[in-house]
Structures are given as structure tokens and as C-alpha cells.
Amino acid sequence: MLEINSKAPDFSLPDENGTIHKLSDYLGKKVVLYFYPKDNTSGCTMQALEFKRLFDDFNNANTIIIGISKDSIKSHLNFKTKYELPFIILSDPDLEAINAYNVYEEKSMYGRKYMGVVRSTFIIDEKGFIKDIKRKVNASKNAEDTLCLLNK
């Protein structure tokens, strides 16, 4: 289980254009790594739009925003283009980062059990260490709450 002050697991995942990003590419900057269930759903869209709204504030705090879901590159391209998202979103269909960060769990909806991504956010410092972990976050408040934590 990941803990605060532990080294953040590195990963190598493609963005909506197929460009590979590694967490280690962003050493020297803070990173907000947020995991979300699915592109173009109401909660995930709201969450992304809140990160977009506060993008300049994160940028001024020397912080990179990276969203990760198991959706395809094509789905991410559609999602990012449709909402003009200014930050990085990565495709993780093989659950590389999703499993490394322990955010894939059994969920239940209408009595049906299934495996899915738990909406979670990690703040990673300039040296690659986890400084904060929030699980089962509120989609509408996640960006603002995260920004407050960064500015502490």
C-alpha cells in the first residue's frame, strides 16, 4: 500500500496523441496525479472541467496535472478536444499505473459488482515522493481541494 512520503511509482503511458509520458519526466515540478473512472461521464467531465478552470493556478504553483483512466487513446483524444482540456491525460488500458497506485477496486452499482477505478488524487513533490493521498474524492471539489493542499 502506498503511503505519504513513499516514492511514487513511475509509469510509462501514452497521451491522446500516443506520446509516451513517464512520471519521472516531471521531476523538479510538483505533480497532481488524478485517477478517474471514464471519459465523458458526468462526474469525470465535471472533475476535468474543474481542473481546467484552475489550470493557471496549478501552473503558477509549479504543478503539472496528469489525469489517468483506462480509456483508449482515441477516447482521450475525443474527451480532451471536446472540452479543450489544457492538461495531460493518459491512457492506461493495461492498468499499469492504476494497479501501481492501488486505485482499482471492486465497486457495486444497482446490486451488480464489478471492478473499476476509484476516483483518487495523489500530490507528488519535486523529488518524486507522495505528499498527499485522497481516495474516493468528490468530483466537483477535487481540483479546488487539491489546490488548497498545494498552497499550504
Q: Which CATH number do you get for residue 114?
A: 3.40.30.10
Number of domains in the chain: 1
In a domain, 151, yes or no: no
Rounded mean pLDDT of 34-42? 96
Least confident of 41-55, 119-133, 138-152: 138-152
Rg (CA), the chain: 14
Does 57 reside within a domain?
Answer: yes
Segment 121-128 mean pLDDT: 97
pLDDT at 152 over 90: no
Confidence grade of residue 107 (pLDDT, cut at 50, 70, 90): confident
Residue 4 lies in a domain: no
Q: What is the pLDDT of residue 106?
A: 84
Range 114-140 average pLDDT: 95
| The pLDDT of residue 145 | 96
Average pLDDT over residues 117-142: 96
Domain that holds residue 66: 14-146
Query: Which residue has 513533490 as its cell numbers?
Result: 125
Question: Is the Cβ–Cβ distance between 49 and 142 less than 8 Å?
Answer: no
Name the percent of the chain lying above pLDDT 90.
89
Q: Report the sign of the C-alpha dihedral through residues 81, 46, 43, 90, in that order.
A: positive
Cβ atoms 76, 15 nearer than 8 A: yes
Whether 7 is covered by a domain: the verdict is no
Q: Which positions are annotated as active-site residues?
A: 44
Q: Write the pLDDT tens digit of every residue in 43-60.
A: 999 999 999 999 999 999
What pLDDT band is residue 83 in, cutting at 50, 70 and 90? very high
Helix residue ranges per DSSP H, 36-87? 42-53, 55-60, 73-83
According to DSSP, the residues that pair with 88 across neighbouring strands are: 66
pTM of structure: 0.95
With contact defined as beta carbons under 8 Å apart, do 90 and 70 qualify?
no
